[in-house]
Amino acid sequence: MEDYIAVVLITCFVTVSGILSNTYVFLAARKMSSMRSSFGTITKNQTICNSMMCFCFLLIVPVQFGFFTSPIRFTHFVGTTAMTSYEISNLSHLLISVNRLCAVYLPSHYEKFFSIRKTKFMILTIWLTCSWNQDVENSKTARTEFHPTDVFPRIERYHWSNHLLSHRSYFDKSCHHICSRIVMGIHACCGGRNYHTIE
């Protein structure tokens, strides 16, 4: 029982800290004139996704304590929302990497690739694609019935773990991880070449 309470308290602390820190970054980015650009738009989108994911995990804390048993049947949708936010956040990381790559190594083409309008279109595309993908994955995942007297162990063992692990192989093989490594490789090669040129 003490282990469950410790897990719940850690979950609560991490999620609340994540929500507060991402909210602070979002509000600070809105006030800074330098963040009214493509980079700032992507950053604010990422803070929203991170806050959504933290909020989803915060919603499960009362269920972990065992205070409420009726929301158990809705945890499937909470998990799907959390995974959707996670994927959008990862793709936002990729978008930020490409944005910085263009800003440093292709400054003359930066406005062409990352205007405010095109950036918003790319963000909208990410949201729609990730939502559709999670809907497809969600239809393939079988739901598990839970007994109300054994809330936390069954949620941890059967529902959350299986739901998250079923997506782990997808994330490991997904294209945005591969693209991120390609961008990092290009950045390393270009950076090394410029470094040797300066030397």
Q: Which of 168, 165, 159, 169 is nearest to 76 (CA)?
A: 159
Measured distance CA(161)–CA(154) in Å, rounded: 10
* pLDDT computed for residue 80 by the predictor: 82
Structure tokens at 8: 């719940």
Domain spans of the chain? 2-198
pLDDT, tens digit, for every residue of 72-99? Answer: 666 777 878 888 898 999 999 999 999 9
Parts of the chain with a pLDDT under 70: 1-2, 62-74, 135-199
Structure tokens at 66: 């065992």
* pLDDT computed for residue 147 by the predictor: 42
Q: Which amino acid belongs to residue 68? A: F
Q: Which amino acid belongs to residue 146? A: F
* pLDDT computed for residue 188 by the predictor: 55
pLDDT, tens digit, for every residue of 51-79? Answer: 998 998 888 776 666 666 666 666 777 87
Homologous superfamily assigned to 2-198 = Rhodopsin 7-helix transmembrane proteins (1.20.1070.10)
